[in-house]
A and B are shown apart, each in its own frame.
Chain A
């Protein structure tokens, strides 16, 4: 029985940086709002449906798993499941059936995150694993994209679907693709969050300004990707599209700013992050130009996620003072 007037005793430091984990997650959500706005603008009610249910499933599953399966403290208020829900939604086409979304959420939250121990313990990016699983399980629905701007505001309206620029590139070669400005703004077929490069860049710069991420990963990822695609374009312009096309299409921008920068699954040191990002960018280019899939961003990051523990272990952190002179 303590008296209220007794003082509290704790270890130093007695002040903390106000940027806590929930605030970081909130910052990421805010940074994703432009992309969300873009998705709703171009894909209508379907974007709202997919995003809403993705978040609902992810947060709900986390709460259920933590309370009944793992029997630990429920930590949905840290915001990480909310972020996973948004990112998973942004990696899916707007017309994805809800039950398939649920499968993806179970894989993302249940298998990728909580079977490894919850927040901070997962080696792989949960949203990307969820998406990869869905792509392997539901190849048709995962590669059917609605054409944007169809005024899809009636619920249940069927969307007219069409090929994405990358799809067209793979089938028809370099000359058959529409304007770059449309890619930049997002008026193009594709997954919910990846189409509007403008929205992603706004969000990315917001993250930089709030010091939630540093420039190392996005810049290095895009740099090595540009370099790789650029070299091949220079060598053979008729077979390989130019780097700007590659940067503006598909999920490269979303990957560079939001998926590769995921704090949990990227290396802890700055040097390690640079190596991680450079390799992932290179892999993304490789898969795009020579792989069987038209899109390589998710796999490039997932492959590099597997190397992150090794990178963390091997890359030395610059220490202060060279020798050790203890007894």
Chain B
């Protein structure tokens, strides 16, 4: 055989063999021992890595659950996108009872769109909520209301928020929302909260966060909460779920029975419900008590 060929084959062959042996030895020496259970749990989780559980990704959550399971207690873990179904599976796999939690969704606590809170001031600069929030109270003059530049839309990884072109307000599509909380963090005015979806997916909320006195609030937005107390008074006879804190009405979601009475009582339409109060009529019977 040609000596050049022989030398080339030998040289490359020996190099390959040495490299292969080295790789094998290294892979055994530095092998990371991982608990196989972590893989099992991770496979049960949705794999979206949204961080809503409070852990770094689904694998991080799986690791934390295994650690907690070894300590004997897996309460306190919940994967919002996975929901009760996934948590049940995980619990059964580890031999625990699952805790059922109420499914949740993101809700916008502002109804001051361009129709209710007309634009008064012209702003020019980065069209970002967190920037314009630093500069002034906002184009409509309400220091607590939605600025409409869509930081929440950008933050959402699930296409669950879109800006309504008629009002300029973000609309949360509850079918897509997995309660990951990204929009909650993105809003500089803390206008988005995670609320329980409610039995039969019905819920009522106060769509205003304006803490100024009613007279001032109403000047900038027709749908402002003016803390007139009518909702409080009517609910005192039903479920005592409404209170006024800092000049704005607040509904206790645990006590609320979703009757929708406060929606009709509110003179400005600051309270909203996501269901129609009069099914037969097929349309909202009261000013702003209709479907979102």
Contacts and interface: CB of A to CB of B under 8 A. Distances in A.
A–B: direct contact at CB < 8 Å: yes
Interface of A: 1-2, 6-11
A203 B60 CA distance: 60
A1 B119 contact: yes
Contacts of A11: 125, 135
Interface in B116-165: 118-125, 135-136
B122 A8 contact: yes
A200 to B, nearest CB: 40
A11 B128 CA distance: 13
A288 B122 CA distance: 60
22 contacts: A1-B118, A1-B119, A2-B119, A2-B120, A2-B121, A2-B122, A6-B120, A6-B121, A6-B122, A7-B121, A7-B122, A8-B122, A8-B123, A8-B124, A9-B121, A9-B122, A9-B124, A9-B135, A9-B136, A10-B123, A10-B124, A10-B125
A163 to B, nearest CB: 40
Contacts of A10: 123-125
A2 B125 CA distance: 17
Given A8-B124, A9-B135, 6 more contacts: A2-B119, A2-B120, A7-B121, A9-B121, A10-B123, A10-B125
- Interface residues of chain B: helix, strand, loop or mixed (majority): loop
Question: Lowest 5 A-B CB distances belong to which pairs?
Answer: A10-B124, A8-B122, A2-B119, A10-B125, A9-B123
Nearest to B134: A11
Interface string B238-272: 00000000000000000000000000000000000
Contacts of B122: 2, 6-9
A113 B243 CA distance: 59
Contacts of A6: 120-122
Interface residues of B, number: 10
Interface of B: 118-125, 135-136
A227 B24 CA distance: 52
A2 B121 CA distance: 7
B209 to A, nearest CB: 22
A11 B123 CA distance: 9
A1 to B, nearest CB: 6
A2 B117 CA distance: 12
Contacts of B135: 9, 11
Nearest to B123: A9
A6 B118 CA distance: 13
A6 B119 CA distance: 10
A319 B227 CA distance: 53
A15 to B, nearest CB: 15
Contacts of A1: 118-119
A14 to B, nearest CB: 11
B165 to A, nearest CB: 15
A72 to B, nearest CB: 16
A11 B119 CA distance: 19
Contacts of B125: 10-11
Contacts of A7: 121-122
Nearest to B124: A10
A13 to B, nearest CB: 12
B115 to A, nearest CB: 10
Residue among B121, B122, B135, B136 with max Cβ neighbours from chain A (10 Å):
B122
A75 to B, nearest CB: 18
A1 B135 CA distance: 21
A1 B125 CA distance: 18
A27 to B, nearest CB: 27
Contacts of B136: 9
Residue among A1, A2, A10, A11 with max Cβ neighbours from chain B (10 Å):
A11
Contacts of B124: 8-10
Nearest to A8: B122
Contacts of B121: 2, 6-7, 9
Nearest to B126: A11
Nearest to B135: A11
Nearest to B119: A2
Contacts of A8: 122-124
